[in-house]
A and B are shown apart, each in its own frame.
Chain A
Amino acid sequence: MTPEAIDSWTESVRATAQRLNKADDGLRGRREDALQRFQSNGFPGRKDEEWRYTPLKKLVNGPCHQLLPASTRIPVQADLPIEAAARVVLVNGEFQEPLSDFSSLPAGIKIGSLASLRKQDSGAIVDLLSSSFPLQDHPFQSLSDAMLDDGIWIEVSTECRDEVATIHILHAFDGSRGAGSAHVTGIIRCAAGTRLRVVEEVRSEGEVLGNIRWGVALAEDSSLDRVRVIRPGCDSVFHGTRVVQQGGSNFHDLMICAGSNLVRNEVNTIHSGPRCHVELLGVYAARGIEVVDNHTTIEHAVEDCTSREIYRGVLSQKGRGIFTGMIHVHPDAQRIDAKQSNDTILLSRDAEMNSRPRLEIYADDVKCTHGATVGELDEEALFYLRSRGIQLDEARRMLVRAFASEVLSGLDPEELREFIIAELEQCIPESGECAP
């Protein structure tokens, strides 16, 4: 990373922060703190353990430091086959009211843009942000904070306890008129006993960095079921989520990512009341020179909680996968039951996987396991299928599908699941093209 490149980022961040600060929205302190952090830390290099394998050089040295211009053109359509009670569209980080549709949203759910909240109620936004995102040294978080402009907030109140509404969110990043980045903040708060489903779709065109972060607060016995799809063809995506779960709450997360240049997915869940459950599932595919980097942390801070994590990937050509998964059981957090696994199939000589499952345990009455496997497709299974007359490519597809479906089996509706699997398969080259 050249010093000039870092300077361009810093300059861009400073200019944007200064412009936004004029609005006097109560966020000046936060922006300045973040700018300060970014200025002194910049982007992490290979010596930073948390970023050891993540190739940021191209992104940092490239032209994405500029902010993407506001745009109301959706460069790509939302086309996931789902029925949703509401559709939210954000283009280049900006909430697009005319393109969104809240007509069948249940009464207890409120959705609004952060830009308008900033204007209307600076106290509220300061509170929301400080409870959702503690200030920290993190390059993408700092960018989000320093340039915080727009995004959305979703609030589920106890009024809609009996209903599970699905909200479909599309992030579109339009770099067709010039490279750049956009920084989006999202906040979800579910009141006690409520349930919500979110299907989030990320699409982009051109050379862009889509920097998305979510702060999620789940009150007692509430539950959030989230599906994220980073659709093929995205350039660089950072997607970060921080979840704080109160007692008895449930967070179910499925991440699907295939066919994008560089994706860094961070999920950090904190269990702060007993009987919480978190399920982190992920399926990824990388080909060409694509990189998928999944980085998860589960903080078991209190007793009697459970977690399940499965990330599975298929890498071909020069595709690269990274998995870093921490399970942290705090002192006195007894009777934790945590299971984590990361399995990767390498389809070509030049594909590469770096897997770091981690357990950090400070309580004795716990059940924690992790496992990681890396290897090629099961030769025997492949031979078995072929001996039954199935052609090589078809047999490979079947095995890859079987491998992924263990993670995707809970994904409803079926059309969505089939759509996802088909798209995943498209991102896995035929055997003849597996090598670069």
Chain B
Amino acid sequence: MSEAKELQELADKEYEFGFVTDVESDSIPAGLDEETIREISRRKDEPDWLLEYRLKSYRYWLTMKDPSWAKVDRNVIDYQKIIYYSAPKPKKELKSLDEVDPELLDTFEKLGISLDEQKRLSGVAVDAVFDSVSVATTFSDKLADLGIIFGSFSDAVKNHPELVRKYLGSVVPYTDNFFAALNSAVFSDGSFCYIPAGVRCPMELSTYFRINAEGTGQFERTLIVADERSTVSYLEGCTAPMRDENQLHAAVVELVALEDATIKYSTVQNWYPGDAEGVGGIYNFVTKRGLCKGDRSKISWTQVETGSAITWKYPSCILKGDNSVGEFYSVALTNNYQQADTGTKMVHIGKGTTSTIVSKGISAGHGQNTYRGLVDVKKGAEGARNYSQCDSMLLGDRCGAHTFPYIEVRNPSAKVEHEATTSKIGEDQIFYCNQRGISTEDAVSMIVNGFCKEVFSELPMEFAVEAQKLLAVSLEGSVG
């Protein structure tokens, strides 16, 4: 069919964010042992308790096995070949954005993330993480007036050790899984955010992650605490240069929502996916979990996953507080040889807890897309409710779409519903669009966007537009 051919030509479109920034980086040699960890901690001038935490995690990690359970094929990772710390040079105290290396500002500019405070019109505060360190945070002074702490994790360790110490590892313990243990041992930087009681954060908080240096792993740590009756919406975006090695990204994100607090966490993940033959790309093995600690608290995860060679990621909610609410909205797209194994865990502990799961998987090329999710209703979760919907769309006959929900119910007053469907884009739908003057390529992207609508509508406006574009680019050349 001519459509197929036409679209195949578009497939060669390159990954837009694949450039390498030419900044000198200050790295420690590849390899991992206790000395590496001490060195990271020393460079970051960390307190002893944090070093102890790292070492404890490292020793535990040594006892664990690299997991093999998810439905993915991957190369064995040599943990001794990874550079665990890389920072753009020179590393000095930055007083303002003017002092940031122009190359770096340019990088984020190219990525569409303007760090230039003066020119910013939209109300988004950005923390930019380049390789292992946070390079700039915008609007932090303005936020500080409201008592909101937003900035790099390292700064938080220095300035608010009591908060970090209280919550670090409280949702994702270092024993949780192989990659969480590794992260707990070697994490370099990330974002920290605290919203005091009763404060509604007036702008979106955003972190932009960029892997640049060769051979590095990125192990960031994000911790967001929303105190009683507070509200925050947080966004993260990620890109990396094109390299034919598989770079590891093993982040840990912990969210804590106290009574009546709401956290909305949105991700647009566009790490380098590898080339059309499946060479290179990021291994995105991330542990994200939120604790709805207080009554009536709410945590909502929205993710659009279009990048990475492999994604393993299950942003989850522990619904501990009575009447707390967990949500998971996900779009995952796999093209070429990408593999995504993603989903969520909703653990209902408190009474009257509710959760909603909407997952949209799109598979194209040789892409493999798996939804894996757990809805766990514990004995005391009187009146718990869950509704899950997992829809898959297959574009082409060499890809795969898989749905593996786990439903565990121990309370009879609970009501759990799961539905899954699989579809493809109909020839007749394409023809209908063609007949109205819309090209096949636009028709496909329109129909796919329609398929993902319920998820995009959860994203903040500008992110939603970005996500739609990203999806269109990632899909190019995938249909025939």
Contacts and interface: CB of A to CB of B under 8 A. Distances in A.
Instruction: State yes or no: do A and B touch (Cβ within 8 Å).
Output: yes
Interface of A: 49, 331-332, 334, 344, 346-376
A370 B416 contact: no
B419 A356 contact: no
Contact of A356 (B394, B402, B406, B413): B406
Contacts of B414: 346, 374-375
Given A357-B405, A376-B412, A376-B413, A363 B420 contact: no
B75 interface: no
Contacts of B415: 373-376
B409 A361 contact: no
Interface in B300-331: none
A349 B379 contact: yes
Given A351-B410, A360-B402, 9 more contacts: A344-B409, A352-B409, A360-B400, A361-B402, A364-B395, A366-B424, A375-B414, A376-B412, A376-B415
A49 B69 CA distance: 9
Nearest to B407: A355
B403 interface: yes
A368 B401 CA distance: 11
B408 interface: yes
Contacts of A349: 379, 411-412
A361 B392 contact: yes
B397 A373 contact: no
B432 interface: no
5 nearest A-B pairs in the assembled complex, by CB-CB distance: A346-B412, A364-B394, A375-B415, A355-B407, A359-B403
A49 B409 CA distance: 18
A372 B394 contact: no
A302 to B, nearest CB: 14
Contact of A369 (B69, B410, B422): B422
B420 A353 contact: no
B2 interface: no
Contacts of B396: 364
B418 interface: yes
B416 A375 contact: yes
Nearest to B401: A361
Given A357-B405, A361-B392, A374-B415, A368 B410 contact: no
Contact of B403 (A352, A358, A376): A358
A368 B420 CA distance: 8
A334 to B, nearest CB: 7
Interface residues on B, range: 35 or more
Contact of A372 (B392, B395, B407, B412): B407
Given A334-B397, A363-B397, A364-B395, A370 B407 contact: no
A372 B408 contact: no
B398 interface: yes
Contact of B402 (A332, A347, A351, A359): A359
Contacts of B398: 331
B397 A364 contact: yes
B109 interface: no
B408 A352 contact: yes
21 contacts: A331-B398, A349-B379, A351-B410, A354-B408, A355-B405, A355-B418, A356-B407, A357-B420, A358-B402, A358-B404, A359-B392, A359-B403, A359-B422, A362-B399, A364-B397, A365-B424, A366-B422, A369-B419, A373-B415, A374-B377, A374-B415
Question: For B398, B402, B415, B418, which residue has the most chain A Cβ atoms within 10 angstroms?
Answer: B418
Contacts of A369: 419-422
B393 to A, nearest CB: 9
Nearest to A347: B412
Contacts of B106: none
B422 A361 contact: yes
A367 B407 contact: no
Interface string B271-282: 000000000000
B417 interface: yes
Nearest to A323: B407
Interface string B210-251: 000000000000000000000000000000000000000000
Interface in B110-164: none
Nearest to B409: A374
Nearest to B391: A369
A355 B419 CA distance: 12
